[in-house]
Amino acid sequence: MQDPTHALLVIDVQNDFCPGGALAVPAGDLIVPGINALMDDFAAVILTQDWHPAGHASFASQHPGRAPMELTQMPYGPQVLWPDHCVQGTDGARFHPALATDRADLIIRKGTNPAIDSYSAFFENDRTTPTGLEGYLRTRGITTLTLAGLATDFCVNYSAVDAARLGFSVTVRQDLCRAIDLGGSLSAACAGMMRAGVTLA
Ligand code: VGL
Ligand code: ZN
């Protein structure tokens, strides 16, 4: 019997984060079969989709003289400058073709504000503007979340930490995540998730 209070949150399993994509996460596509199988264990399945307007402020292409993967300062804090990725309506922004998207109860799109990045499924990177996901989960009576997807050290990490801070009980399935690992970002993310009370499984 599926637990109605427990949801699966699948983060950004999109073409641009898989091999061949604009911001490819090594072996990002290998987690798709395991995520599809895991969906059968959950009463609620929620997918997130990174969904940027063209010319998004997180793109290095918008910062003259700067290169992808460099760090800059934004009004809301430090920001990695990314290659153009997950532009609304492009093939790179679509889910991996093998992901079982028909199983989703909800697809939440994030990163749509041209001036603010949004790693977390719950808040933009100003850490205050909500996506609405918290309200959806609470009104469904969901208290426990299992996370999988891309990338472990960015969107999975921010989503897991925010969920724990909001009081949800959170487990990250590390075997069903893959990381970008930029300058030690994976070990920093794991330490931060553990500090926030996230279970790394
Ligand atoms: C992500 C960098 C930029 C992610 C999204 O899904 O982890 N990373 N946008
Ligand atoms: Zn993005």
How high is the pLDDT of residue 13? 98
- Cα of 82 from ligand 2 centre, angstroms: 7
If you take atom 8 of ligand 1, which residue's CA is the nearest one? 154
Atom of ligand 1 nearest to the CA of 52: 9
Q: What is the pLDDT along the chain (201 residues), one digit of tens a residue?
A: 689 999 999 999 999 999 999 999 999 999 999 999 999 999 999 999 999 999 999 999 999 999 999 999 999 999 999 999 999 999 999 999 999 999 999 999 999 999 999 999 999 999 999 999 999 999 999 999 999 999 999 999 999 999 999 999 999 999 999 999 999 999 999 999 999 999 999
Which is catalytic among the residues 18, 155, 177, 190? 155
How high is the pLDDT of residue 19? 98
41 is catalytic: no
155 is catalytic: yes
If you take atom 4 of ligand 1, which residue's CA is the nearest one? 155
CB of residue 59 inside a 6 A radius of ligand 1:
no
SS3 of the chain: the string is CCCCCEEEEEECCEHHHCCCCCCCCCCHHHHHHHHHHHHCCCCEEEEEEECECCCCCCEHHHCCCCCCCCEEEECCEEEECECCCCECCCHHHCECCCCCHHHCCEEEEECCCCCCCCCCCCECCCCCCECCHHHHHHHCCCCEEEEEEECHHHHHHHHHHHHHHCCCEEEEEEEEEECCCCCCHHHHHHHHHHHCCCEEC
- Cα of 105 from ligand 1 centre, angstroms: 22
